[in-house]
Structure 1
Amino acid sequence: MELRQLEYFMAVADDMSFTRAAQRVHVVQSALSTSIKKLEDELAVQLFDRSRQQIRLTPAGDEFRRHARQLLNAARLAKDALNDYRGQLTGTVEFGSLVTFGALDVPKVLGDFHAAHPFVRIRLRLSQSGSSSYLASIADGSLDLALVSAPDRYPAGIDLHLLAQEQMVFTCRADHPLAKRKRVGIEQLADENLVGFPEGFGIRRLIDDAFAAAALIPRILYEVPADFTVSAALIRNGLGTAFMPESEVGRFGDLVGIPLAAPIDWRIYLARSQREHVSPAAVRLADMLAAAAEVARRPSSS
């Protein structure tokens, strides 16, 4: 059994597609399929059920995935542990990202990290089902770090560090009937056609909870799993209104952000494992994100 075979197996197990997995590990599909078949022959079990249109893991494959991930993580940590002898950081950091960061300039931190440590590869993942899904990946070792918004519960063995916090504001066009208000209550927004994130996203859960506390259900007509540029375009064209972090509204000078009578706080956390053995590269990136968040929280001197 070779590590490359385990990498190919995990790629297929994660993507549930031989085609996408081959693209991900940069090999032709026939070579990947042959490698998986040799692994199955060596183990004397079938790892994937290929009898249906959508492949799936067999019970044996599901059990093997857990051990394969542990083996690959151990191999990666063993390699990274030799950084001190090479004199420079190397390896890969698996990083789960959010679609928006508020006042925290995450792309700049990633750029600074790459400039300082060019031999470390950052693999960025963006969940389409909300950042809460990252927590299980942190727990099982398939992610090193992740940005998480409004986690309501999380597995044991995960450390959450608050990076950023700001208030959500009701966002509308300047000609909206509420645009001149200094504050607005949730009760006044019951009939609004809202632009929001899909269910499962942290910001969506904050808004749903705020309406539920007022015995209301938000009328979210447009679910947008993208940054607030798309939401702003929909608002600008008269299709609805939205809730945004205060810093995001500042990017759109033609829109109005109105504070809420009962504030809704949006928080961004950095999630990482509490395991003793975490790669030096992941530790360094976590430190840089925390330092950037500290700078962003300082009041401007102007």
Structure 2
Amino acid sequence: MDTRQLEYFVAVAEELNFTRAAGRLYAVQSTVSAGIRALEKDLGATLFARSTKQVALTPAGEVLLPEARAALEAVDRVRSAAAMSSAGIRGRLRVGIFSNLDVIDLPAVLGEFHAVHPLVDLQLGASAAGSTGFADDVRRGRLDVAFMGLPDRDLAGLEVLPLVTTPFVVVLPPGHPFASRPTLTMRVLAGERFVDTPAGFGNRIVIERAFAEAGITRTVSTQVSDLGEVPRFVAADLGIAVVPSLALPRAGAAGVDGGVVVVPLVDPDVDWQLSVVSRPTPSPAVSALLALFSRHLGAA
């Protein structure tokens, strides 16, 4: 058994597809298949049930998966420790980021990180599934660190570094009947058409739970994959929106900005938390980046 075979196994187990696993590992599919067969022979157990239509883990594969992940993480820590003793932190750091994230100057933070740790290869990317996709990617080892808009109760098994908590605000077209009100509640908004992000995004999960717990059904008529773009669709009179106030950095608590009216939502216990998450046993590179985030936010 070698670590490459374990990498093949974990990739196939997470993708449940040999072709996608090979692409993820920049390997040839036949090499991945041969590595899995060699691992199964070494262990004396079949790890995958294969058919022409699907790949599934066997009971033995289910048992092996968390152990294989732990073994690979341990090997990474050994390599990182050896590298640090001679040349500083090195390796790869995969970070899931939001676009239009103004609460922290991400280019400046990552620039400072690179200046201190030039041997770390930074890879940044977004997720079409929002925070839900990021959480899954971190759990499965596809990402090392990710920004997150999910509540803590949805982040079991992850290390969470809270960055900031912000209230929700209601975004309205200027001619809307509620545009002149000083505050609004969820109950008043029942029956409105909403512009929102897709279902997996953290801000939508939080606000939809709040509406459901209040016994209110709402209709999302327009979905926008970029939270920062929601006000533009509200301005086009496609509906109203309830978003974290951080999505409107120029508007403040209330007022007119960019062709929309922003009114505070005053229902209690309806807040959005922006966090950074990682796995419970972070690498030295992850620990260094999290420490840098903490320092910048502390200064802010």
Normalised to the residue count of structure 1, the TM-score between the two structures is 0.82
Listed as ranges, the matches of 1:113-128 within 5 Å are 113-124=113-124, 126=126, 128=128
3-state DSSP of counterpart to 2:234: helix
In the comparison of the two structures, how many residue pairs are matched? 293
Gaps of 5+ in 2: 251-256
Check if 1:249 corresponds to 2:248. yes
Partner in structure 2 of residue 219 of structure 1: 219
Cα deviation for residue 130 of structure 1 reads 5.2
Cα deviation for residue 155 of structure 1 reads 7.1
CA–CA distance in structure 2, aligned partners of residues 196 and 187 of structure 1: 18
3-state DSSP of counterpart to 2:131: coil
Partner in structure 1 of residue 147 of structure 2: 147
Structure 1 residues 213-222 or 98-107, which shifts more?
98-107
CA–CA distance in structure 1, aligned partners of residues 280 and 23 of structure 2: 32
3-state DSSP of counterpart to 1:85: helix
- Residues 46 and 61 of structure 2 are in contact (CA less than 8 Å); yes or no, is this contact kept in structure 1? yes
3-state DSSP of counterpart to 1:216: coil
CA–CA distance in structure 1, aligned partners of residues 115 and 125 of structure 2: 20
Query: Which residue identity is paired with 2:265?
Result: L
Structure 1 residues 21-30 or 33-42, which shifts more?
33-42
Partner in structure 2 of residue 165 of structure 1: 165
Match of 2:288 among 284, 288, 295: 284
Structure 1 residues 17-26 or 126-135, which shifts more?
126-135
3-state DSSP of counterpart to 1:60: helix
- Residues 73 and 141 of structure 1 are in contact (CA less than 8 Å); yes or no, is this contact kept in structure 2? no
Check if 1:266 corresponds to 2:272. yes
Partner in structure 2 of residue 74 of structure 1: 74
Normalised to the residue count of structure 2, the TM-score between the two structures is 0.82
Partner in structure 2 of residue 240 of structure 1: 239
Q: Note closer, same or farther for the CA distance 1:100–1:7 as it changes in structure 2 (3 Å cut).
A: farther
CA–CA distance in structure 2, aligned partners of residues 157 and 227 of structure 1: 27
Listed as ranges, the matches of 1:86-105 within 5 Å are 86-98=86-98, 101-105=101-105
Cα deviation for residue 221 of structure 1 reads 2.5
Cα deviation for residue 258 of structure 1 reads 1.5
Check if 1:293 corresponds to 2:264. no
CA–CA distance in structure 2, aligned partners of residues 273 and 14 of structure 1: 16
Identity of aligned residues (%): 35
CA–CA distance in structure 2, aligned partners of residues 125 and 10 of structure 1: 21
- Structural RMSD (CA): 3.1
- Residues 197 and 227 of structure 2 are in contact (CA less than 8 Å); yes or no, is this contact kept in structure 1? no
Cα deviation for residue 199 of structure 1 reads 3.9
Listed as ranges, the matches of 1:192-207 within 5 Å are 192-207=192-207
CA–CA distance in structure 1, aligned partners of residues 41 and 110 of structure 2: 42
Gaps of 5+ in 1: none
Q: Note closer, same or farther for the CA distance 1:28–1:100 as it changes in structure 2 (3 Å cut).
A: same
Partner in structure 1 of residue 254 of structure 2: none
3-state DSSP of counterpart to 1:231: helix
Partner in structure 1 of residue 112 of structure 2: 112
- Residues 114 and 120 of structure 1 are in contact (CA less than 8 Å); yes or no, is this contact kept in structure 2? yes
